[in-house]
Structure 1
């Protein structure tokens, strides 16, 4: 799995950091840092975080779980 965050689109709502804190971390109020290649064991958290992004700044590529609720 590979994650790409459009940092120009990201507005710092931090929903991703709440849902996948091992992958996304806010530094200050606007700076997002993230692991672009988290392990497959985090795929459910990452997919939930990407879906929760209000501005859809997170793209997930590669093999991921297909049944996220």
Structure 2
């Protein structure tokens, strides 16, 4: 019984963090940072226009 109660309580703990995160409103700095991160780490595969790369399942010349 105690283990079940501890598990139930532990599984609810992440819900306490949601209101703090949800209260954060995005501003232009957040959006600019996200654009920069996407350009640096994601666009090579997912494309600058978010449409991805054609024939992405075929290996490129570098393997």
The structure with the largest alpha-carbon Rg is: 2
TM-score (structure 1 length as normaliser): 0.19
TM-score (structure 2 length as normaliser): 0.20
Judging by fraction of residues, say which structure has more strand.
1
Judging by fraction of residues, say which structure has more helix.
2
